[in-house]
A and B are shown apart, each in its own frame.
Chain A
Amino acid sequence: MAFVWTIVALVVVLALCWRFLGAYMVAVYEGRVRWLAKVERPIYRVIGADPQAEQTWKRYASSVIVFSAISLLISYGIFRLQEHLPFNPEHMPGVEWHTAWNTAVSFVTNTNWQSYSGESTMSYLSQMGALAVQNFVSAAVGMAVAVALIRGFSRRGSKTIGNFWVDLVRGTIYVLLPIAFVAAIVFISQGALQTLAGHAEVGNALNGASQTLPRGPIASQEVIKQLGTNGGGFFNANGAGPFENPTGLTNFLSIVLILCIPVALTYTFGKMVFSVRQGVAILAVMTVLFGGWLTMTAVAEQQGNPALAETGMSQPLGNMEGKETRFGALSSSLYNVTSTQTSTGSVNSAADSYTPIGGMAMLTGMMLGEVSPGGVGTGVYGILMFAVITVFIGGLMVGRTPEYLGKKIQAKEVKLAALGVLVMPITVLVLTAIATAVSAGKAGPLNAGPHGFSEILYAYTSQTNNNGSGFGGLSANTPFYNVTGTIGLLLGRFAIIIPALALAGSLAEKHVVPTSLGTFRTDKPMFVGLLTGVVLVIGGLTFFPAVALGPIVEQLSHGMFW
């Protein structure tokens, strides 16, 4: 019953975010918000950006790539040199080259896949100055690309799609930083750590226990990891750790922080294309998919753990292996589904120990391309590419040149959208096939049988979708997994961003065709159904065979253990 109220509260809070944060973001990206102008203007001066100047899609894309490349080099440098830098009370040594490389790429691409354990690898400077900074700016990059694509739809006969540097700065200081600043204080009040002191040594005379407690500036990083749909934990346990996610309230706030920007961006989209109903249609698709996957997971986790059931023990609390008592099976399912339907990837419970169907829900949530509602920015530009394909299919059915939001969708747009949609499945399947064929790949899984295959498939699905969650049993901190994973990370980010920006550029130049009786309305239930179907069919057709070898076999193998 408590869980029903959790869902009700979540819907109410997100509805408010959708309306007000969504409208606020319209104003931010149109340059009408100025309450931090005293910070904003000097930044433009220092970086030499003119807030009035606009960029073509090619200039926009090259700015995205150059900025990401520099971010990557700086982060890599900080990890490698952390032992010589300040804020390192526990004297962490420099990070190994392949781990540092994978981690730098992972955080710059908004993935936060972590092959390392935070508590035993990273100095406070690496956490604050590299990881948390990338949590902010990689999210702001995603939002900037989404806004640029939306401008493509809303502008007419325009050569330009905005200015990357201005969008980057505005998203960071007007949206991400203020929300994170307030949320971090709530997290600290609940018991999330925020200290620069090193480990604490504690003992207990009652039971003779002694423990070393790693600490750090956690709350400030925790909130932006959620808000920016990044997901990388300060500690290995991520959102399951009591120092990161101490209470039911922080758990709920984490879910709200993850979902608020992706959901609100559908309002921003609708407003910017002059029809909020268009945004509602997109949000409806996201909600249907999210609801389906949440139900699947919650029901599966209520069934209990198959291994514990084999011993004959009753499990009124559901499957609690890998779950925290203070959250319970339902709130854990909600958190992990939220995290894998966005590009977040933080977990408050061990994904590897979910029931076969629960694990499949997380895996397939990512396989649909993370559009329900997807990451900050990435969700909106992802689903808009699906929408282009949907109107194309709709156009084929009636034999008419398709339009979306008044723009004619022609061969070029369909090709770009198809490229953006297909890069991910191809990369995931090829990398998984390689890893299951070579010994360095086969050495990775902790679990035997089909679950071991699932661990590998999950790793590449997560990295290529820039999600970052993992079936944690995989020993991924090896040169093989770190380097091959990086391929997925980079393709999953930039081989989708570049087509998205090219699409924006191509659309911005077009003029609007007047609506007629023959126009396929994209703000009606028919379109919602068709778009949902397209997302499901593309994901289903590409991934069903692979999923059948992992979670489905596992689910059907009653009484078998590996």
Chain B
Amino acid sequence: MLLDLRRAITASIVFFVILGLAYPLAETGIGQALFNHQANGSLTANGSERIGQTWDGPQWFHGRADGDDPTATGGSNLGPRSKELLDKYRERIAGLEKEGVTPHQDLVSASGSGVDPDISPDAAYAQVPSVAKARGQSDDKLRALVERHVQGPQFGFLGASHVNVLELNEELATLR
């Protein structure tokens, strides 16, 4: 028992040094050296490419119905038969319709992270008429814009097709 105790303590110290310090610090060194942009959060002048933001008004493409607060991540956790969830859906649909945006399931449902940076291609196409109207652009031009931004599934088979809302809106802002 005493022998076990001594072994447990020394083993814990050894593991702390190897697994708790050497391993993560070595990975940090490698990550910072080889993939500096990604390792630090894929930051751009307009925020992180990986983290969703809230876009208000018909002149922008909207993202998921998230809080977009990276310091408090997570989903709504509302169950499939939650009255609160049903009320929220009705409210969001009404809000979008008031803005002249065709509601799509991506735009009224919250994601798992609360900071989903993407929407499905269909959700982007559904917003083309309202964005085009607000910006005085042609539908065709915006549809082509969305098409350029459709990504995935990765390697053709991993995950689902999606459009990064930040990248889409960044290019939208440069359209004349």
Contacts and interface: CB of A to CB of B under 8 A. Distances in A.
Contact of A6 (B21, B53, B120, B157): B157
Contacts of B8: 63, 66-67, 69-71
Interface of A: 2-3, 5-6, 9, 39, 43, 46-49, 62-63, 66-67, 69-71, 74, 117, 119-120, 128-130, 132-133, 136-137, 165, 168-169, 172-173, 177, 180-181, 184-185, 188-197, 199-200, 202-207, 209, 211-215, 217, 219-221, 235-237, 240-243, 246-249, 251-252, 304-308, 310-311, 313-317, 319-328, 330-332, 347-350, 352-356, 359, 446-451, 454, 471-473, 554, 557, 560-562
Interface string B110-143: 1111111111101000000000000000000000
A50 to B, nearest CB: 11
A123 to B, nearest CB: 12
B157 A308 contact: no
A327 B161 CA distance: 8
Contacts of A355: 80
Interface of B: 1, 3-12, 14-16, 18-21, 23-28, 30-32, 34-35, 38-43, 46-51, 53-56, 60, 64, 68-83, 85-86, 89-90, 93, 103, 105-106, 108-120, 122, 152-160, 162, 166, 169-170, 173
Nearest to B56: A207
B80 A353 contact: yes
Contacts of A252: 158-159
B53 A209 contact: yes
A480 B142 CA distance: 54
Contacts of B152: 248, 326
B109 A132 contact: no
Nearest to A165: B7
Contacts, number: 390
Best-buried of B10, B26, B60, B122 by chain A (most CB within 10 Å): B10
B158 A251 contact: yes
A39 to B, nearest CB: 8
A193 B93 contact: no
Nearest to A241: B113
A119 B60 contact: no
Nearest to A560: B81
Given A194-B28, A217-B24, A449-B81, A324 B54 contact: no
8 contacts: A2-B159, A74-B16, A237-B112, A251-B158, A307-B78, A311-B89, A326-B160, A561-B86
A259 B20 CA distance: 24
A320 B106 contact: yes
B47 A203 contact: yes
Contact of B11 (A67, A130, A189): A67
Given A63-B7, A215-B41, A472-B74, A188 B31 contact: yes
Given A43-B14, A211-B68, A350-B112, A195 B32 contact: yes
A59 B72 CA distance: 45
Contact of B81 (A322, A356, A473): A356
A323 B47 contact: no
A249 B158 contact: yes
Contact of B31 (A195, A249, A471, A554): A195
B159 A327 contact: yes
Nearest to A65: B4
Contacts of A450: 81
Given A308-B105, A321-B75, 10 more contacts: A43-B11, A63-B7, A66-B5, A207-B55, A219-B31, A247-B158, A248-B154, A248-B160, A447-B78, A554-B80
Given A47-B14, A211-B70, A132 B19 contact: yes
Contact of B14 (A46, A191, A350, A473): A46
Contacts of B158: 2, 6, 247-249, 251-252, 331
Contacts of B166: 204
